[in-house]
Structure 1
Amino acid sequence: MPRRVLPLVLPLARVLLAVPLVAACAQQGDFGRPAPTAWNSLIDAAGTFAAHERGEPASLFPFTEDERALRDRAWRFLMPARERSVFDAALNNLTRARVLPVGWRLSDPAAYVEAITAGPFRSVVSRYRRLSDDLVADGRLIPAFAETASRVVRADLTRLQSLPFITTLDDRDVRSAAMRVAENRCLIAWVRRETAARSASYRYALEHLLVAAPEDEAVAAERALAFLDSRRTLLDPLLPADAEARCGLVPPEPAEVVLVRKG
């Protein structure tokens, strides 16, 4: 490894080795979100550092009130609806904070139904009800996230439009502003991607519960799923359709090749 790379890699390695221990101690706030403690602040700071080292957008500018609210509201959608183990929870929290790259976590539609059916339970009806509760809770939280995201997008547009007219900024300030705009947009794109993945996991759970143990409660779960999907459309106008690909959250669409016959 080249010597010039070592000063960057070694501090990051130390952070990555230490943070899982910190993550296990991370305190939870309201609605399961991380509480604003020194432990959780360290995880988020390590995430910014790690994202920067990977070449992802990472700004050191302080958050505005709306930017902080956006991250608080994003938490539910960036973490799995149901955890299968404490270790999974720690890894997912490190991914949410960007200590670990988003791409390491492969989509697993079966994870949710495995989590809600693990262990003994009296009646499968309770599993249907838990599914319905999670669906409705997600659907109810999307409008508030979309409204906050809309304000952040408008503020970022103002930020970018003002840059050419401010002469006291240096290159670092301009870069930090651009990185914050990219951070915000990619966070919104990430939530949009995760809400689609959650919907797919919920549908997978509903279909498998229905086949394994048909119950009248499946009707309520189907309605709750339709409710969630209708709310997810609020996220579509916030960013272009290819935002997830631009942020590296999904593979880009292959370019169309046009063959031209000569002569």
Structure 2
Amino acid sequence: MLTGRLAAAALLALLPGACAQPGDFGRPAPSAWNALVETTGTLSAAARGEAALLPLTDDEQILRDRAWRFLMPAIPGDVFRDALANLARARVLPPGYAPEPVAAYYDGLMAAPARSQVSLYRRLSEDAGADARLLPVFADAAARVVAADARRLRSLPFASSLEDGAVREAALRVAENRCLIAWVRLEAGARAGRYRYALEHLFAALPGSGGVEAERAIAALTGRSPLLDPLLPPDAAARCGLVAVPVAAAPLEGAPLSVRY
């Protein structure tokens, strides 16, 4: 069996010719590449102490399927960046390994040759609108997973037959679920910022009536982003290593952040 480090190295060697394969409804398409990434990602994340190897519940699988859209570039014009994002999403690489700059969406939008301003505004509206529609679906799944995890944690002290390893696996899965939700919450806000940047620059370059519809779609996404806030504490992204941890809140040395969540 490949270790996490060897698995990551093997997949990184494939990056120049590999890219993520999107499916329907914001989920990854079934394919040999995506299956390989998923399997290797579990091994790699487990080697870093970030993921549990327990089977996924139905809601946990839905959570991961729905998270896929928010953790991938909205416009995969850069194959290398797209592949890096896919590896980070699948936990082969740690989150934030290849953060997408605020101008990335606009740059990808404008990169296609011979596109009219109508089609540019339409694409922006469709992408922001799709994210806005998907976010409540993800939030519903996340709420069910968080509630189930709370019941799981409450039951552990009373499960006298569980070995220490089983208890740790359960705790790791809870941390993994929470950190995935925190990652999507972070990326949903970042996406709204990238769409806003794209709209402002697009309107400055090519003013058109399509800006109104794009503005509405971005506003809808921004308005729905707080749906995930009640599920996690405000510092969840820092606890999971998605953003820099403030010095005052730095955890004790020892287990990985996701384990100590």
- Determine if the alignment matches structure 1 residue 81 to structure 2 residue 74: yes
Match of residue 112 from structure 1: 105
Would the aligned equivalents of 2:103 and 2:194 in 1 still touch at CA under 8 Å? yes
1:211 deviation in Å? 1.2
**TM-score, length basis structure 2:** 0.87
Match of residue 50 from structure 1: 44
The within-5 A match list for 1:1-263 is: 11-20=3-12, 21=14, 24=18, 28-31=22-25, 33-37=27-31, 39-55=33-49, 57-255=50-248
Task: Describe the SS at the equivalent of 1:168.
Answer: coil
Task: Describe the SS at the equivalent of 1:103.
Answer: coil
Task: Read off the aligned partner of 2:34 and give its amino acid letter.
Answer: N
Task: Describe the SS at the equivalent of 2:75.
Answer: coil
Task: Read off the aligned partner of 2:6 and give its amino acid letter.
Answer: R
Task: Read off the aligned partner of 2:8 and give its amino acid letter.
Answer: L
Q: Deviations over 1:161-181 (max 9, x none)?
A: 000111110000000000000
* Residues in 2 aligned to 1:208 and 1:25: alpha-carbon distance in whole angstroms: 28
Match of residue 257 from structure 2: none
* Residues in 1 aligned to 2:26 and 2:227: alpha-carbon distance in whole angstroms: 24
Q: Identity rate of aligned residues, in percent?
A: 59
Task: Read off the aligned partner of 1:113 and give its amino acid letter.
Answer: Y
Q: Deviations over 1:31-56 (max 9, x none)?
A: 4633345543331121122222233x
1:145 deviation in Å? 0.5
Structure showing greater Rg: 1
Aligned CA distance change for structure 1 residues 252 and 126 (closer, same or farther; 3 Å): same
> Structure 1: which 5+ runs fail to align?
1-7, 257-263
1:124 deviation in Å? 1.4
Which moved further from structure 2: 22-31 or 122-131?
22-31
Give the number of aligned pairs.
Answer: 247
1:94 deviation in Å? 0.8
* Residues in 2 aligned to 1:118 and 1:25: alpha-carbon distance in whole angstroms: 18
* Residues in 2 aligned to 1:76 and 1:25: alpha-carbon distance in whole angstroms: 14
Aligned CA distance change for structure 1 residues 38 and 215 (closer, same or farther; 3 Å): closer
Aligned CA distance change for structure 1 residues 201 and 16 (closer, same or farther; 3 Å): same
1:191 deviation in Å? 0.2
* Residues in 2 aligned to 1:142 and 1:118: alpha-carbon distance in whole angstroms: 27
**TM-score, length basis structure 1:** 0.87
Which moved further from structure 2: 174-183 or 27-36?
27-36
Q: Deviations over 1:110-140 (max 9, x none)?
A: 1100111103224212111110111111000
* Residues in 1 aligned to 2:112 and 2:19: alpha-carbon distance in whole angstroms: 25
Q: Deviations over 1:198-232 (max 9, x none)?
A: 01100110111111121121121111111111111
1:27 deviation in Å? 5.4
1:103 deviation in Å? 2.7
* Residues in 2 aligned to 1:107 and 1:63: alpha-carbon distance in whole angstroms: 29
- Over the aligned positions, Cα root-mean-square deviation in angstroms equals 2.2
